[in-house]
Amino acid sequence: MTPDNKIESPFDNDVAPVDATPVDATAPVDATPVATATSVATPASTDYSKYQTMAETPSANERRKFDYVAVSGAVDTETITTAEGDVEKRKPASAFKLLLTKERDANDNAQSEELALPLTVVPIKYRMVMEQRTGAKGEVLVLRTSEFNGKTSDIITVTRFGADGKVVSTSAPMTVLEARKKYQTAEGKNALRDKAHIYSLVNGDLVRFVVKGTGLWEMESELHNGKTEASRAKYPFLAKYLSEFAMNDPYFLYEMQVNAAYRDHGSIKYYRPTFTKGNRISAETEKVVLEHLEDLFEYFKEMDAATKAYVPSESTPTVEEVHIEDTQGEGEY
């Protein structure tokens, strides 16, 4: 835990953000954040420190498949006919719940259901993963690490996928720091990019809420010159949002309102998610959240133990040490 009764962020303080798209302080922002709810006193009868340890630390259980939600960074337009003629209008951002386990088409592809923003999420447990895609946005996934708790000392494996989406090879266990140093682009940049997996309640269902790039943290760049503290507070990044909670009033007792801010950097236009503290959850929801937290704690403890014990076989060679072309699609976050 961090000093002063603050909750430690799952994001390593000693690791710089990885290749997030910078945000322009002068760009227009269309999203209107949800107002922060008045804090409700935490009942003294519940020892939340026990659950906070579970939330921060990750069953003989097979690996689960979770439905997941991600805010789409794509900026789409539609043509509107007016008295003055046709006008291209920007569509608002949206979130998609991918029904990985419930609905699949004839080709075994996941079906998706569009969800409106702002989206109410009850975050339960945070995990991290690192990924690298090749080609334009949305193309074949090349490298993906196992999940971890956000520390450079965590043990992970790195899996390479072929064009058919099947596993080609998996590395022997290594630390997150070792993986960052090993997998580099030809230009010497980190090839593995960070994503947060927030196991959350959305509309009553346990799902994996995915946040990446500029949604995770604020980049230090000249585009931020002149950005005010008021602006930072109004459109918080996930790392900042998490830092505002204390041990006796943890994040999993509150709804998290997710919206999207539009960013325009000329050739790069995208939506990035924003996070605002919402209402304290009800006693009924709290019971469900704590049950999920205990279950997820045990599940991820076993998954992490399996990762540490993994031994590549001759039929599953370790991932080759090669440079990877840095071609991730613009506007990814």
Q: Note if the pTM is more than 0.95.
A: no
- Give residue 324's pLDDT: 52
**pLDDT exceeds cutoff 70 at 155:** yes
| pLDDT grade for 1, boundaries at 50, 70 and 90 | very low
- Give residue 103's pLDDT: 67
- Give residue 217's pLDDT: 67
Give 212's strand partners: 195
Domains of the chain by residue range: 1-79+87-243+271-333
Beta strands at 205-212 and 68-71: parallel, antiparallel or unpaired: parallel
- List the one residue out of 69, 323, 19, 7 whose CA is nearest residue 194: 19
Phi, psi of 162 (to 5 degrees): -85, 180
Tell me the per-residue pLDDT of 207-245, one tens digit each, with 9 for 90 and over.
999 998 777 865 444 344 445 555 555 555 787 888 889
Tell me the per-residue pLDDT of 65-116, one tens digit each, with 9 for 90 and over.
889 998 888 888 888 888 888 888 888 888 888 877 666 777 777 788 888 8
Residue with tokens 């794509």: 74
Quote the longest CA-to-CA distance of the chain.
69
DSSP 213-254: GGGT----SGGGTT--HHHHHHS--HHHHHHT-BTTB-GGGE
Distances 63 to 28, 59, 300 between C-alpha atoms, Å:
43, 9, 9
User: In one letter, which amino acid is 189?
Assistant: K
Give 195's strand partners: 129, 212
In whole angstroms, give the CA distance from residue 97 to residue 139.
19
**pLDDT exceeds cutoff 90 at 158:** yes
**pLDDT exceeds cutoff 60 at 270:** yes
**What would you report as the CA-atom Rg of the chain, rounded to the nearest whole angstrom?**
20
Of 20-24, 70-74, 262-266, which gets the smallest average pLDDT?
Answer: 20-24
Mean pLDDT, the chain, integer: 76
Give 114's strand partners: 96
**pLDDT exceeds cutoff 60 at 173:** yes
In whole angstroms, give the CA distance from residue 290 to residue 177.
32
In whole angstroms, give the CA distance from residue 249 to residue 167.
42
Q: Of all helices (H) and strands (E), which one includes residue 297?
A: helix 283-309
- Give residue 323's pLDDT: 46
Ordered alpha helix ranges (H), 112-203:
176-182
- Give residue 54's pLDDT: 65
Of 25-39, 49-63, 291-305, which gets the smallest average pLDDT?
Answer: 25-39
Residue with tokens 């049950």: 291
Percent of the chain exceeding pLDDT 90 equals: 33
Instruction: For residue 91, give the 3-state DSSP assignment.
Output: coil
Q: Show the tokens assigned to 136.
A: 């334009």
Instruction: For residue 16, give the 3-state DSSP assignment.
Output: coil
327 or 243, which is more confident:
243
